[in-house]
Structure 1
Amino acid sequence: MSAAHDEEGRFNLSAWALRHQALVVFLISLATAFGILAYTKLAQSEDPPFTFRVMVIRTFWPGATARQVQEEVTDRIGRKLQETPAIDFLRSYSRPGESLIFFTMKDSAPVKDVPQTWYQVRKKVGDIGQTLPQSIQGPYFNDEFGDVYTNIYTLEGDGFSAAQLHDYADELRTVLLRVPGVAKVDYFGDPDQHIYVEITNTQLTRLGISPTQLAQAISSQNSVSPSGTLTTRDDRVFVRPTGQFTDLNALADTLIRINGRSFRLGDIAAIKRGYDDPPVTQMRFQGKPVLGIGVTMQPGGDVIQLGKALDAKMTELQAHLPAGLKLAEVSSMPRAVSRSVDDFLEAVAEAVAIVLVVSLVSLGVRTGMVVVISIPVVLAATALCMYLFDIGLHKVSLGTLVLALGLLVDDAIIAVEMMAVKLEQGWNRTRAAAYAYTSTAFPMLTGTLVTVSGFLPIALAKSSTGEYTRSIFEVSAIALIASWLAAVVLIPMLGYHLLPERKRQAHEPDDHEHDIYGTRFYRRLTGWISWCVERRFVVLAITVILFVVSLAGFTLVPQQFFPSSDRPELLVDVRLPEGASFEATLRQAQRIEKALEGRPEIDHAVDFVGTGAPRFYLPLDQQLQQPNFAQFVITAKSIEDREKLARWLEPKLRNDFPAIRTRLSRLENGPPVGYPVQFRVSGDDIATVRGIAERVAATMRANQNTANVQFDWDEPAERSVRFEVDQKKARELGVTSTDVSSFLAMTLSGYTVAQYRERDKLISVDLRAPKNERIDPSQLLTLAMPTPSGSVPLGTLGRMRNDLEYGVIWERDRQPTITVQSDVRGNAQGIDVTHAVDRQLAQIRSTLPVGYRIEIGGSVEESAKGQTSINAQMPIMVIAVLTLLMIQLQSFARVLMVVLTAPLGLIGVVATLLLFGKPFGFVAMLGVIAMFGIIMRNSVILVDQIEQDIAQGHKRFDAIVGATVRRFRPITLTAAAAVLALIPLLRSNFFGPMATALMGGITSATVLTLFYLPALYATWFRVRGDERDPRPAPSEHSGN
C-alpha cells in the first residue's frame, strides 16, 4: 500500500498527512497563528449588521391643518412614491404644518439596490415638486434613519447659555471627527437661536403700518443681492454694498422706511436674542437641560477600539474645558458590546471546558487529548475564515460558536474512536489511521454537509430577519467544514503519536483481531438492539405515537418572535393627548424625574422631551419629534436591578400619572417591532375606521393577557380657533385674507422676515408680538389691525369660532389607519396573545363595510415575514440534502428512510420546551431546522456502516445490530458533547430557547438513531429474524 493510498489503491488524505507530517504541521501552525491574529482583529459589535430599508421624507407647510397637509402634501407624495418598484409599504402621519412619510422597501430587496432606490425616491418626489403647495418647506430626505450612535455624551454647565454650549460643542466636534473610526457627530436638544423683533399692536396702530410692510422693510435692508462687477483691462472688481445686519446694535439702528416716513427699528420694537419659543425638543440629564453629542462609527469599524479612542480623547478634552463645564457619557455601545462579548466568551470558555471534560472522561486521557488538541486549531481556523469573510463578533456569531462547539468535535470523536478501536483490535497506527479515513471520511463529509445544509435557509433568506441571523449559517458552516478537515488530517496525525498500540499476546495469530465488544455492557446493548429489531412494529408504533403526541403538544408551547435584550436599560414612553403643548409635556417629564430621584437601582437616566431617544441601540423602535411625547432611557446597574426597578415603576406610573399614557418597556432583539400586540384598522373614512378600532380595542381589553391597550392616534383633540373673515367687510377696508393671516401669524407665533449671519451660522430674525398679546385668545378680537383705511379692531373683519381638529392623521399606503396596540402581562407572549385576540375578532371582520379591513401587525407580522423568507428557501435545502444523501447512499429507499428520521427530533424539542416553560421563537425555529440536518447526519453514517457490513458478507440482521453497537459510543459521545456544550447558552435570553430545544431534540434523536433506526431499516428492507449467525453480532470482524 502506498503511503498516500489505502489498501484498495484509492487516495487516502489521512495517509498522505502521515507521509508529509512536517508540511502538515507547518500549515496547521501557520493557520493557527494567523487565526489567533485574525481573532484579535475581528470587528466587535452588539448586534449583527443589518440594513434599515426605511427612508423618512419630511415636509413642512406652516399654517395648514392636519387634513390639508394630508390631502395636499402627504397624499400627493405618497401616490407618486407608490410607483417605486421596490416599495413594501408607506406609513405616514400628517400633523398641522407637517407631513412625515416612512418609505419602507421590500425585505427581499438586495442590499446593493438600497442606494438606487433612495435615488429613485428623491427623483420621483422632485418630479412632482411643482404640484405641491408653494409655501411648503422641503421635502427633506433622511436615508440615515438606521444609523446608530455608538456613544452619546452630555455637555452642561451652570451659567452657560445654550449658545455657549453649542460653541463649545462645535470645538469638541472638530476634535472628535479626527478620531479614527468616527463617521459623524450630531447634536441633540440643541435649540435653534432666534432674534426676535417684538412690536406691540399699539405701536403698529400708532404708526399706521402693517406687519407685512414692516417685514418687507427689514428683509430688503438685510438682503444679499448682486451689485454688479467692474471690468477693467486687467481684472474684475466686485462691488459689495454694505447694510446687512452685523450685530444686534446694527439691527436696532436700521432705518425702516414705510409710507414715506423713516423709523429706527430699535425705537419702535424690542429686539432680543433667544431660542426656539416655544421649545421644540429638549434633552435632560439629572433634572437639567443639556446638550447631547452623538458619535457614529464608520461602516465596518471596530466599536471596541473606537470606544477606547473616544475614552482617551474625552479624558483629554474634559481637562481643557472651562471650569463648570462638564462632559458625561450617558450611552456607550463599546461598553455594552464589551460586556456582551465577555459574557459570550465566558460561555465559549465554559463550552470548551465541557467538551474537553466529555472527551477526556469518555475517551480516556490519551484518546481525549487528541480531540482536545484539535479544538483550538479548529477555532483558530474558524476565526481566520471569519476575518477573511468579514464576519464580526456579536451576539449571534458568538452564540453560534458556542452552538458549533458541540458539533465540531463530532467528526474528531468519530475519527479518533474508529482509530482507537482498530488499535485495540491489534492494528498498527498507520493502518488504523488510513482505515479511519476509508470507512468514515466520506460519510462524515456527507453528514457535515447535510448539517450545514440545515442552516442554508438562513443564509438565503431575503428579509431583515434573515439578514440579522445570517451569521448562524456562516459561522456554523465554517466551523463544521474546518472540523471535518481536522478530523481527516490533524486527528490521524495526533492519533499516530498519542494513541497506544495494543500489545499482541503470544498465543494470538498475526491476523487475529481482538473483540472489544465482548464486555457485559455491550452484550446487554446488543440484546436491547436485537429486541428492537425483532419487535420492530412495536418500536415503530411507539415512535409514531410519541411523534403525534409531540405535534399535539406543540400547540401548547408559547410562541415568540425575538426575546427582550439582556441590556440594563428601561424605556419609559410618556404621551399626552394630541394638542398638548411642549410645556405640558415638560412638566410631566419633570414629575417623573422627581419620582426617579434616589432610586438605588438606577445608574443614570436621561430623558428626551418633544422627541424620542436617538438610535443608541440598533433594534430601537425610534420615535420621532412630537410636542406631546417624551421618552426616558433609564440605565439600571444590572439586569437584576432593571427587573426590580420595573416592578416598582410600572404601578408607580399607573397610579401617580393616570392622566397621561405611559409605557414601560425593555430593549428588543431582532428587527424593531414596538408593541408586541398590534392590529391595524384601515379604510377611507376616519370616523368609520375609529368606530371599528374602538370595537377592536374593546376585544383586546377583554383578553386577560393584554395590558395598556392604546391607539396610535386619538380623537380630534387639537384645539383650534377659526377666524372666519367677512369678505365683504374686508374688501370695503381694502384688506385680503392674506393680510389677515399675516397679522395673526405675527401676533401669535411670529414669522421669519430675515436671517442674521454670524460666522458660519444663519440665525432667523422673527417678527412677533410681545408675550402678553400672544397667550390669550379672547384678546384677539380687540387687537387693532392696520388697513389702508386706518386701523380697525380685528373683530370688525370677522368672527371667532372654537373648533377641534385632528392633531395627527396616520395612514398606511394612503389610507387612514389606526393601530390598536398593547403590551402583554406577565410571561405571556405577544404572538400567542395576538392569535387569541385575532380569533375573537372574526365576528367583527364579518361585519366590516366594503373597503375596510383589520390586519395583524407587531410581532406576528414580523415573525411571519421572517418565517416566510426562511420557508421560501426550504426547497433549496431539501434539494441539497437529498442530493448529498443520494451521492452517499445511492438508493432512493435509503435516502427516504434517512429523511424520515429527521422530524422525529421534535419529540424531544416539544418535551423540553414544555418541561422548562421556554417559548418557541424565531431563533429556536432556526435551531430546529438545523437539528434536522444533525439527525440526518447521524442516520446517514449509521446506514452507511450497515451497508458496508452487508457488503462485507455479514447477514443483514447481524449487520444492523453490529453496526449500531459499534456506532453506539461515537453517537452517544458526540450527542453528549453537543448537548452539554449548550448549557452555557441557557443563560442567554437570545439563545436560551434554541439551546433548550436542541438539547431535547438531540437527546431524543440519539435514542431514536440507536433503537428506532435499526427497527425502521429492518422493516423497510424486510429483514427476517433468521438472517443472523448464532454467534454475537459484533465479534471479530465486526470492528469494520
Structure 2
Amino acid sequence: MLTGTLVTVSGFLPIALAKSSTGEYTRSIFEVSAISLIVSWFAAVVLVPLLGYHMLPEQQHHDGSAHGPDVYETGFYRRLSGWISACIERRWVVLGVTAVLFAIAMAAFTRVPQQFFPNSERPELLVDMRLPEGASFDATLREAKRLEKVLDGRPEIDHVVDFVGTGAPRFYLPLDQQLQQPNFAQFVITAKDVESRERLSHWLESTLASRFPTVRTRVARLENGPPVGFPIKFRVSGDDIATVRGIAEKVADKVRADARTRNVQFDWDEPAERSVSFEIDQLKARQLGVTSEDVSGFLAMTLSGYTVTQYRERDKLIDVDLRAPKSERIDPSRLAGLAIPTPHGPVQLGTIGHVRDTLEYGVIWERDRQPTVTVQADVRGEAPSIGVTRDIDSAMATLRATLPAGYRIEIGGAAEESMKGQTSINAQMPLMIIAVLTLLMIQLKRFSRTFIVVLTAPLGLIGVVAALLLFGKPFGFVALLGVIAMFGIIMRNSVILVDQIDQDIAAGQPRFTAIVGATVRRFRPIMLTAAAAVFALIPLLRSGFFGPMATALMGGITIATVLTIFFLPALYATCFKVRSDERESRAMDVASSETC
C-alpha cells in the first residue's frame, strides 16, 4: 500500500517541479494531492484497523471457528475465475485486442478538441475600448461615458466599474493587465450570474459593433491559467515596418477566412499620431547667423512656453510662462512665418528650413529588437482555440514559403502558452519515471515485474480518449495533469495485484492458480477503490475548470481498472511462460522461469 501510494504521489511530480507560469499556477494540485494521499495511507494502516477491531463484530461459524464461509466460492467469483482463466489461456488474443484498442485510441485522439485553459466561471465581463492612436484622454473619456449610458438599466448587470487611460488593477490573479494609454478604457462589468453574463456578452458584441464603429472593442470573460489575452495570435517580425505590416495584413486575411474566428485586430495601428518637425537648412542658417540651438530654444518657448518670472501670492510662488498665442501654436502652417530674433535682426523660420507635418506610429512593438506586429483574434462560441490556431497555421504554409529573408511568422496566444506549459512538464518527466521505477524495483525486486506494472499505465489512455469524445470535452492542460496523475493510480493497482501473485507463488501455489486466485481476491478492493475515485469525481463534471480533467480521469480509471483485471494476468502469464497445465502442479522456481 505504501509503495502504491508513493507511486501515485510520484505521478504528480512533474506538476510540482514545472518551471513555468503554468506550473506555478497548477502547483497546488500536487501539494493537495500529495498531502491527502499520504494522510489517507496513515489512516488506512492505523485508523481503519483500530476502528475495525472495536466496531466490527466477530462472526462465529457453526463449528465455533471465527471464520465464515469462503466468499470467493460464490457464483459470481466462480464466473470471474473462469473469465480470468480464459484470458490466461487465450493470452495472445487478449494482448492483441488490447493493443488494437490502444492504437485506435491514439488515432482517435487527433479528433479530441485541444484547449489551454477554460474560461473562468466568474460573473465578470471585461470590455476593452481602444480609440485610434493619438486620441486624447478627453476623447476616450467621452466614449466611456457613452458606453456607461448604454449599459445603464440593463437587467443582467449587478454593477459596473470603468477605468479610463489604463486597465483594471489586478483584482484576479490571471488578469491580463493593460498598459497606461490615453486612448484606452476598460470596463469591468459584473453580471448577476453566469447565465446573465452570457446573455450580456452576446448583446454587447452586437451593440458595440453598431454604436461604436470607430472604436476597437473587445468583450471577454476572465481567464483561467496564465493570462494570454486574445487566444489566437500570430506574430510577424522583420526589419522593415512597412513590409512587416504588409505580411501581417495577409496573415489577418487568413485568420478572417476561418469561420471560427472573430474580432481580428492588430496590436498596433497604422500611423495616426500627428508629428510636426522643423528641418533646418544648415548652410542658410549659418549664413544668417542662426544655430540649431537657437531654433530649438525658440520653438520650445513658442510652443511649450518658457518661465520668465514668478509671481508671489501670499505664501505661494506661481510661474509666469511666455509662449505664442494659441492660434500660432495649434496651426503648424504658421510656424514658417514666425521670426526668430538674432543679433542681426529677426529671421523668418521659413528662410532657413521647412516645416514637416506627418503622421507617425504611436506605438511600435519590437521582439528580439525587430518590429513585430501581432495579429490577434477571438474564437466564436466554444471553438477550441488551439485547434483553430493549428488549422490557420497549416493554411499559411504557402505564405511562409514566400516570406522574404529575415522575416518570420510565429504562433502566439493560447497555443504558445500551452506548448510552454507542456514543455516544462515534459522536462520533469524523466525524474518522475526514475522515482516510479525506483519505488517499483524496491517493492517488486525484479525488472520483469516492474516492466509488467509500467506496461499497464498507458492503458488508461483508451478510456481517456473514449470519455472525452463521448462527452465532447476538450483536452487541455488541466486534463493533461490528470492523465499524468492517472498513470500513478493505475500502477498502484498493478503493484498490489502483482505483489499478491508473487506472495501466493512464494507460498507454494501453482503459478496458474496463483495468478487466478490473486486476481479474484484483489478484484473487490481494486474495483471498490476505482469506483470510489470515479464517484468522487462526479461533482467536478459540471466545473468549467476541472470538468475535462474529471472526465478524463473517470474514463481512464474505469477502463484501466477493467483491463488490469483481465489484461495483467494475461501479460504476467506471457512474461513468465505460465502453462495452462500448471493448475495442479507445484510452483516452479520463479527465478529459473523468468524471461522478461
Q: TM-score, normalised by structure 2?
A: 0.92
1:459 to 4, 7, 16: 16
C-alpha deviations, 1:892-924, integer Å up to 9, x for none? 111111101000101111111111111111111
Q: What secondary structure sits across from 2:162 in the alignment? A: strand
C-alpha deviations, 1:325-381, integer Å up to 9, x for none? xxxxxxxxxxxxxxxxxxxxxxxxxxxxxxxxxxxxxxxxxxxxxxxxxxxxxxxxx
Distance 1:802 1:738, change over 3 A: same
- Is residue 2:47 matched to residue 1:490? yes
Q: What secondary structure sits across from 1:599 in the alignment? A: coil
C-alpha deviations, 1:11-54, integer Å up to 9, x for none? xxxxxxxxxxxxxxxxxxxxxxxxxxxxxxxxxxxxxxxxxxxx
Q: How many matched pairs?
A: 583
Q: What secondary structure sits across from 1:987 in the alignment? A: coil
Residue aligning to 1:712: 267
Asked if the contact 1:733–1:788 (Cα under 8 Å) also holds between the matched residues in 2, the reply is: no
- What residue identity is the alignment partner of 1:497? H
- Is residue 2:62 matched to residue 1:505? yes
C-alpha deviations, 1:920-950, integer Å up to 9, x for none? 1111101100100000000110111111111
Distance 1:746 1:564, change over 3 A: farther
- Is residue 2:159 matched to residue 1:579? no
2:418 & 2:361 partners in 1: Cα distance? 33
Superposition deviation, residue 583 in structure 1 = 2.9
- Is residue 2:193 matched to residue 1:638? yes
Distance 1:764 1:663, change over 3 A: farther
Superposition deviation, residue 609 in structure 1 = 2.1
- Is residue 2:559 matched to residue 1:1004? yes
2:418 & 2:129 partners in 1: Cα distance? 27
Residue aligning to 1:6: none
Residue aligning to 2:364: 809
Asked if the contact 2:510–2:582 (Cα under 8 Å) also holds between the matched residues in 1, the reply is: yes
- Is residue 2:430 matched to residue 1:901? no
Superposition deviation, residue 636 in structure 1 = 1.6
Q: What secondary structure sits across from 1:470 in the alignment? A: helix
- What residue identity is the alignment partner of 1:468? Y
2:84 to 520, 529, 533: 529
Q: What secondary structure sits across from 1:708 in the alignment? A: strand
> Map of 1:46-125 to 2, 5 A cutoff?
none
Asked if the contact 2:59–2:67 (Cα under 8 Å) also holds between the matched residues in 1, the reply is: no
- What residue identity is the alignment partner of 1:840? A
Superposition deviation, residue 491 in structure 1 = 1.2
- What residue identity is the alignment partner of 2:228? V
**Greater displacement, 653-662 / 491-500:** 653-662
Superposition deviation, residue 615 in structure 1 = 2.2
Asked if the contact 2:333–2:355 (Cα under 8 Å) also holds between the matched residues in 1, the reply is: no
2:153 to 591, 598, 601: 598
C-alpha deviations, 1:357-416, integer Å up to 9, x for none? xxxxxxxxxxxxxxxxxxxxxxxxxxxxxxxxxxxxxxxxxxxxxxxxxxxxxxxxxxxx
- Is residue 2:514 matched to residue 1:959? yes
Asked if the contact 1:533–1:1014 (Cα under 8 Å) also holds between the matched residues in 2, the reply is: yes
Distance 1:750 1:570, change over 3 A: farther
Residue aligning to 1:948: 503
1:732 & 1:694 partners in 2: Cα distance? 49
Distance 1:859 1:768, change over 3 A: farther
Q: What secondary structure sits across from 1:826 in the alignment? A: coil
Distance 1:783 1:590, change over 3 A: farther
- Is residue 2:105 matched to residue 1:547? no
- What residue identity is the alignment partner of 2:482? G
Q: TM-score, normalised by structure 1?
A: 0.54
Residue aligning to 1:589: 144
Distance 1:1029 1:619, change over 3 A: same
Q: What secondary structure sits across from 1:604 in the alignment? A: strand
1:787 & 1:735 partners in 2: Cα distance? 7
Residue aligning to 1:851: 406
Unpaired runs of at least 5, structure 1: 1-443, 1031-1040
Residue aligning to 1:724: 279
> Map of 1:130-279 to 2, 5 A cutoff?
none
Q: What secondary structure sits across from 1:616 in the alignment? A: coil
Superposition deviation, residue 755 in structure 1 = 11
1:765 & 1:609 partners in 2: Cα distance? 32
C-alpha deviations, 1:782-827, integer Å up to 9, x for none? 5555444555655455433332222221111211111111111121
Distance 1:931 1:809, change over 3 A: same
- What residue identity is the alignment partner of 1:451? T
Superposition deviation, residue 751 in structure 1 = 6.7
Residue aligning to 1:565: 120
> Map of 1:714-793 to 2, 5 A cutoff?
714-727=269-282, 730-731=285-286, 734-750=289-305, 768-769=323-324, 771-783=326-338, 785-789=340-344
Q: What secondary structure sits across from 1:803 in the alignment? A: strand
- What residue identity is the alignment partner of 2:331? D
> Map of 1:232-631 to 2, 5 A cutoff?
444-506=1-63, 510=65, 514-631=69-186
- What residue identity is the alignment partner of 1:924? A
- What residue identity is the alignment partner of 2:61? R
Q: What secondary structure sits across from 1:664 in the alignment? A: strand
Superposition deviation, residue 665 in structure 1 = 1.1
2:22 & 2:112 partners in 1: Cα distance? 22
Unpaired runs of at least 5, structure 2: 586-596
Distance 1:449 1:925, change over 3 A: same
Residue aligning to 1:198: none
Q: What secondary structure sits across from 1:647 in the alignment? A: helix
Distance 1:513 1:593, change over 3 A: closer
Identity %: 77
Superposition deviation, residue 772 in structure 1 = 4.7
- What residue identity is the alignment partner of 2:24? E
1:922 & 1:679 partners in 2: Cα distance? 21
Q: What secondary structure sits across from 2:111 in the alignment? A: coil
Asked if the contact 1:723–1:799 (Cα under 8 Å) also holds between the matched residues in 2, the reply is: yes
2:32 & 2:318 partners in 1: Cα distance? 53
Superposition deviation, residue 610 in structure 1 = 2.2
1:482 & 1:764 partners in 2: Cα distance? 72
2:353 & 2:503 partners in 1: Cα distance? 101
2:31 & 2:318 partners in 1: Cα distance? 52
Superposition deviation, residue 495 in structure 1 = 0.8
Q: What secondary structure sits across from 1:1026 in the alignment? A: helix
Residue aligning to 2:418: 863
Residue aligning to 1:29: none
> Map of 1:985-996 to 2, 5 A cutoff?
985-996=540-551
Superposition deviation, residue 728 in structure 1 = 5.2
Superposition deviation, residue 1000 in structure 1 = 0.8
1:487 & 1:767 partners in 2: Cα distance? 86
- What residue identity is the alignment partner of 1:888? Q
Question: Which one has more relative contact order, counting CA pairs under 8 Å at least 6 apart?
Answer: 2
**Greater displacement, 636-645 / 772-781:** 772-781
2:335 & 2:535 partners in 1: Cα distance? 77
2:307 & 2:458 partners in 1: Cα distance? 70
Distance 1:1006 1:767, change over 3 A: farther
- Is residue 2:259 matched to residue 1:701? no
2:124 & 2:473 partners in 1: Cα distance? 23
Asked if the contact 2:275–2:357 (Cα under 8 Å) also holds between the matched residues in 1, the reply is: yes
Aligned-pair RMSD on alpha carbons?
Answer: 2.6
Q: What secondary structure sits across from 1:809 in the alignment? A: coil
1:704 & 1:806 partners in 2: Cα distance? 31
1:751 & 1:612 partners in 2: Cα distance? 35
